[in-house]
Structure 1
Amino acid sequence: MDTIQIPRITQHDILDPARADAMHVALGVSAGCAIGTPLPPFFHQLYFWDPQVAEQLGRDGHPKVGGLIPDMGLPRRMWAAGRLAFHAPLRAGVAATRTSICESATPKQGRSGPLGFVTLRHDVHQDGQHCLSEWQDLVYREDPDPAAVKPAVIMARTDEEHHEQVSFSSTLLFRYSALTFNGHRIHYDLDYARDVEGYSGLVVHGPLLAQLLMLMAQDQLGPLETFSFRATSPLMHFETATLCRKGRDLWVRGPDGRQCMTAQA
């Protein structure tokens, strides 16, 4: 099918150190970000907000489709995967510019019904330098069918050389939503997550899992040049997960052994 191209959007922001400090606190790591301090990888998610009035929001709390993302008539949104190339560190307290385009928006027919695949590209510049390239792969789909057969669960690897257990409270999910200005109700509105989108609890943000994997990778492997991740199964807020690494392969294992995310640094 034809691919739909969308014009670019440019946003400007000053990368407030206080917001980075707040994210450090939310994640339980030491704060103390000053002007000029290099930001950890993926902390650009804290900036370049796109606030919309209530009338311009969809039922899920996200801005309505039809702007940067075309409307394909599918109500449920999922961040399926992401890729990042780190060209130079972003520095706190310094003005930056993000340019965004929709590289592709393609409807397809899946086994569970119609799907919409969207790829967004973001490029961030600071002081005239290209610091970051990011690709977001989103999937749109129909509302859940209670009678539909659930997809088979993929089991995660168990051969890690390093692992860390992490838990997620509803408070952490709320804080992460607030700091990234993510209005998606599956992360903080339990009734909506359960009764409308068919989840058993609040959904842990895919980017939050990716953020934790990136911080672990940087701590153990050094500064990152590239990072890619793919979500494979949603993780609920009441579940304890295990962050795993072997070499440059990383993954998130659920409490039942299922694979929730894979990544490579």
Structure 2
Amino acid sequence: MTDATQTLHDPIDPARARALQATLGETPTVQAGDALPPFFHQIYFWDPQVPDDLGRDGHPKLGGVIPDMGLPRRMWAGGQLEFHAPFRAGQPATRRTTREKAQHKQGRSGPLAFVTLRHEIWQDDTCCITEHQDLVYREDETGQKPQPPRAPDGAVKTRTVSFDSTLLFRYSALTFNGHRIHYDDAYARNVEGYDGLVVHGPLLAHHLMQMAAAELGGLKRFSFRATSPLMHFETAELCWGEDGKCWVRGPDGRQCMSAQAG
């Protein structure tokens, strides 16, 4: 591994996929050899660190593939995925990660840093999934929260979803995501300035991917952008529109996430 690359291996245990199915309210059915649904690779390729190597937020300390950009608050801003071949449970896999971008910008609410990682998921010498992961880093809460965009009208199908602290804890455990904004209410409110526990951006994206796969009969590509955090006590709507557009609408009509499926 160099500072800008990382390679991880995983046996892709079917039991972990069944645990995710149960967490999402589905019947646990995955067996070895089954093609996993889109985005299930998120629960694999853990990179555990000892406590002394964690930052204040519960994530591994910055440095290496994700450089220290001098800003403490992390968010998964979005991503782009291409599904090339079936990704199967019970078959060893490799994830190759490359840092493609790390740069500072000035936003309306203060300085920002953007990091883009490229992940390639390989099984049996075949690249099954290519994913670009966009991370954004902000300064500590200053009270200047950007105005969230309004969710569009025109959904042809909607589904109501809700989240609680147990679901967020289980999803954090399955993805080995130690970010305290998802399970430590005092930290989320008092340190990072949220109104409560934050629903994982990837969890919202996962729900949209499930909707898109059902509507399209499968997925070849999917991109998403987080636009406003959703709190664990809020009920949201998954919205499906024309031409593969989908989004998450918060209870006050704000857009929490936008996405494009194909």
Same fold (TM over 0.5): yes
Aligned match of 2:137 in 137, 140, 157? 140
Deviations 1:126-148 (A, max 9, x none): 011110000011000100113x3
Secondary structure at 1:176 match in 2: helix
* CA shift digits 1:191-236 (9 cap, x unpaired): 0000000000000000000000001111121110000000000000
Check if 1:47 corresponds to 2:44.
yes
CA distance in 2, matches of 1:102, 1:258: 32
Matched, 1:260 2:256: yes
Alpha-carbon distance in 1 for matches of 2:77, 2:188:
17
Output one character per residue of 1:165-214: Cα deviation in whole Å (capped at 9) or x when no partner: 00001000000000000000000000000000000000000000000000
SS of the counterpart of 1:215? helix
Superposed CA deviations along residues 140-165 of structure 1, whole A, max 9, x for unmatched, are 0100113x3x3223110121111100
CA contact (8 A) 2:109 2:146 kept: no
Q: 1:27 matched to which residue of 2?
A: 24
Q: How does 1:141-180 map to 2 (within 5 A)?
A: 141-146=138-143, 148=144, 150-180=145-175
Q: Distance in 2 between matches of 1:45 and 1:96?
A: 13
Which residue of structure 2 lines up, in the alignment, with residue 57 of structure 1? 54
1:6, distance to aligned residue in structure 2 (A):
4.2
Q: Report the alpha carbon displacement of residue 246 of structure 1 after superposing the two structures with TM.
A: 1.2
1:184 aligns with 2:183: no
Do the aligned partners of 2:4 and 2:64 also contact (CA within 8 Å) in 1? no
Q: What stretches of structure 2 of length at least 5 have no aligned partner?
A: none
C-alpha separation in 2, matches of 1:43 and 1:153: 29
C-alpha displacement of 1:114: 1.6
Q: SS of 2:4's equivalent?
A: strand
Question: Post-superposition shift, 1:89?
Answer: 1.1
CA contact (8 A) 1:81 1:231 kept: yes
> Is 1:206–2:201 an aligned residue pair?
yes
Distance across 1 between alignment mates of 2:182 and 2:135: 16
Q: Secondary structure at the match of 1:122?
A: strand
CA distance in 1, matches of 2:138, 2:4: 24
Matched-pair contact (CA < 8 Å) for 1:121–1:134: yes
Asked whether the 8 Å contact 2:248–2:257 carries over to 1, the reply is yes
- The size of the alignment, in residue pairs, is 259
Task: Check whether the contact 1:156–1:257 (CA below 8 A) recurs between aligned residues.
Answer: yes
CA distance in 2, matches of 1:108, 1:6: 22
Q: Percent identity?
A: 65
**What does residue range 7-156 of structure 1 map to in structure 2 within 5 Å?**
7-146=4-143, 148=144, 150-156=145-151
- Residues 6 and 103 of structure 1 are in contact (CA less than 8 Å); yes or no, is this contact kept in structure 2? no
TM-score after normalising by structure 1: 0.96
User: Which of 229, 233, 240 lines up with 2:228 in the alignment?
Assistant: 233
Which 4+ residue blocks in structure 1 deviate beyond 4 angstroms? Answer: none
